[in-house]
Amino acid sequence: MTQDDARVEVHEDAAALSTAVAGELLSRIADLQAAGDVPHVVLTGGTIAEKIHHEITRLAPESGVDWGAVELWFGDERFVAPDSPDRNVAQARAAFIDAVGVPPHRVHEMASTADAADVEEGARAYEAELEQHGPEVFDILMLGAGPDGHIASLFPGFAQLDVSDRAAVGVTGSPKPPPERISLTYPRLNRSASVWFLVSGSGKADAVAAALGGRDLHEIPASGVTGRDETIWFLDRESASGL
Ligand X SMILES: O=C1O[C@H](COP(=O)(O)O)[C@@H](O)[C@H](O)[C@H]1O
What is the phi/psi pair of residue 179, to 5°? -75, -25
Q: What's the closest the beta carbon of residue 35 comes to ligand X, in angstroms?
A: 29
Question: Is 45 among the residues that bind ligand X (CB under 6 A)?
Answer: yes
Judging by DSSP bridges, how do beta strands 192-199 and 138-144 pair with one another?
parallel
Q: What's the closest the beta carbon of residue 32 comes to ligand X, in angstroms?
A: 23
Residue with Cβ nearer ligand X (39 or 144): 144
Residue with Cβ nearer ligand X (48 or 212): 48
With a CB cutoff of 8 Å and minimum separation 6, the contacts of 205 are 238, 239, 240, 241, 242
Q: Distance (Å, rounded) from C-alpha 49 to C-alpha 198?
A: 7
Residue with Cβ nearer ligand X (29 or 189): 189
Residues 170-229, interacting with ligand X (CB under 6 A): 176
Q: Residue 46 in 3-state DSSP?
A: coil
Instruction: Give the interface segment with ligand X, choosing from 19-27, 40-48, 133-141, 154-162 (CB under 6 A).
Output: 40-48
Exactly one of 39, 122, 134, 146 binds ligand X (CB under 6 A); that residue is 146
Residue with Cβ nearer ligand X (46 or 134): 46
Report the run of H or E that residue 178 belongs to, with start and end: none
Could you tell me the CA-to-CA distances from 233 to 51, 68, 77, 209 in Å, in that order? 16, 28, 22, 11
CA angle 142, 115, 78 (to 5 degrees): 35
Exactly one of 5, 12, 13, 47 binds ligand X (CB under 6 A); that residue is 47
Residue with Cβ nearer ligand X (3 or 91): 91
- Over the window 91 to 120, marking each residue x when it contacts ligand X by CB under 6 A and - when it does not, the resulting string is ------------------------------
- Over the window 52 to 91, marking each residue x when it contacts ligand X by CB under 6 A and - when it does not, the resulting string is -----------------------xx-----------x---
Number of residues in contact with ligand X under rule CB under 6 A = 13
Pick the closest to residue 10 from 180, 200, 229, 138 (CA basis): 200
Pick the closest to residue 201 from 13, 6, 9, 54 (CA basis): 13
Q: Distance (Å, rounded) from C-alpha 96 to C-alpha 39?
A: 17
Q: Binding residues for ligand X, per CB under 6 A?
A: 44-48, 75-76, 88, 144, 146, 152-153, 176
